[in-house]
Structure 1
Amino acid sequence: MKVIFAGPTLYGAHLPSNADYQLRPPARQGDFHKAIQDGATVIGLVDGVYEYVPAIWHKEILFGLAQGVHIFGAASMGALRAAECAAFGMVGIGEIFDSYMSGALENDADVAQSHAPAEMGFLPLSEPLVNVRATLSRCLHLSLITASEHDQLLAAAKAIFFKERTYRQLVMSSISDEVRALEVLAVLRANAVNQKLLDAQLLVEAVIGAADRRFVPQFNWTFEATSFWDFTFPRLQPKS
């Protein structure tokens, strides 16, 4: 059984209709453990929730790896956890993961994004900074904005709280000329780069291509079930 945890990052994506995997909502603490107990052989982590509930626990990832589960991460929370757990066997995918691994990205907030609830398909409501950076870079490369505008827009994007960051908001807060602001807004929207989606699609391909069976763990570390772990996830006691 293959499982992918995703939400707003894959909004509107055209996913393979015949692929053999379960698409589950953004992961929170306990979701990995449940998927592993359900028999998952491959897990892909794209999106996770974190603000009002405990985020996906690193130890759940280690537990899965120790059980021989192939675990991939990309794009959002997946890229963060993959960078943090790469040394233990989690596989990171995509440009955003590479940037966290290299140190080019350091802040968790760079991938943060506001979105609607599951009932609305996790509709994205704001632009994550990683997408804004990629879009501004593309527009500068195509000479659609000036170097000065690029710097002003990027500074505005960094300063705006992630839930309020939209292309309209950052343009209106950084370009005073109304006519030029509307021109730039149209340019950004027409040339928007959704780097999170691009990376997530690579993860979907990796999950589909992975063997649907667990591997034999051969790590130089051992999973330790601490007392807190056992309290959080009580082990089933054998029947007498």
Structure 2
Amino acid sequence: MKVLFVGPTLPDAARCAPGLDIRPPAIQGDLYRAVRDGAAVIGLVDGGFEYTAPVWHKEILYALSEGVAVLGAASMGALRAAECRAFGMVGIGTIAQAYADGTLVDDADVAQLHAPAELGWASLTEPLVNIVATLQQPHLPAGFTPDLCDRIEAAARQLHFKERTWAAIADRVDLPDTGLRTRLERDLKASACNRKREDALLLVAAMTAHAGERSPDRPAWVFQETTLWRDLLDRENAKLLMF
């Protein structure tokens, strides 16, 4: 079984990832449950945070210790892949590599507001990694000079991730009149590069190519069942008894 945790980064995952067990953005306990359910490979793209306990590094180590391949990309998956790469988690794509080599360090660079699953995970703000990727494209409209791109990026960085919309960014760029700001917003939207989606699709391809069996080999390190880990197991077992 191949389990993919994804939401706003790839809202059409059901179409783009046939054959994968698609589950919503991961929170604490979800990866453990995927291993318990029999997953041989787990792909982590999106994960909950801020209002819920995020997916725990210990769950990733547990999965790896059980021979499960764990891949991460684009969003929460890229962060966890960089943090757990020494233990065998594999980062996929440009964003994961940037966190691994230290080019990216702030977890807010991949964060964005989005609608719930019931509304198709629609994006409400733009993640900084997509904004930067947009400005680095070689074939932007002629008016996008290096100086203007630098000012757009600076404006985006000044905004909290919950406020990063193309309109808010354009409003913060010093331009002579409202008409130019409206045109800038329109051109940014038309030229937008969705780097997170690109990386998520690379992860889907890697999962699809995986044999779908757990590795018989075990890592050189030993998984430690700490008190906090046993607490999680107790909570999960209690949930099972409720149903």
TM-score, normalised relative to structure 2: 0.92
Rounded to whole Å, the distance in 1 between the matches of 2:120 and 2:180 is 34
SS at match of 1:225: coil
1:3 equivalenced with 2:16 (yes/no): no
Residues 68 and 214 in structure 2, CA contact (< 8 A), matched pair in contact too = yes
User: Aligned ranges for residues 155-174 of structure 1 at < 5 Å?
Assistant: 155-174=154-173
SS at match of 1:55: coil
**Residue of structure 1 in register with 2:205 after alignment:** 205
Rounded to whole Å, the distance in 2 between the matches of 1:37 and 1:137 is 42
Paired amino acid for 2:88? G
Rounded to whole Å, the distance in 2 between the matches of 1:41 and 1:129 is 33
1:232 equivalenced with 2:232 (yes/no): yes
User: Unpaired runs of 5+ in structure 1?
Assistant: none
**Residue of structure 2 in register with 1:92 after alignment:** 91
Tell me the CA shift for residue 218 of structure 1: 3.2
**Residue of structure 1 in register with 2:146 after alignment:** 147
TM-score, normalised relative to structure 1: 0.93
Seq. identity, %: 48
Tell me the CA shift for residue 142 of structure 1: 5.5
1:28 equivalenced with 2:27 (yes/no): yes
Tell me the CA shift for residue 149 of structure 1: 1.3
Q: How many residues align?
A: 235
Tell me the CA shift for residue 167 of structure 1: 0.7
**More deviation in 78-87 or 166-175?**
166-175
* 4+ runs deviating over 4 angstroms: 139-142
Tell me the CA shift for residue 203 of structure 1: 0.4
Residues 14 and 22 in structure 2, CA contact (< 8 A), matched pair in contact too = no
User: Aligned ranges for residues 13-52 of structure 1 at < 5 Å?
Assistant: 15-16=15-16, 19-52=18-51
User: Unpaired runs of 5+ in structure 2?
Assistant: 238-243
CA gap of 1:135–1:159, structure 2 versus 1, over 3 A, is same
Paired amino acid for 2:173? S
CA RMSD of aligned residues (A): 1.7
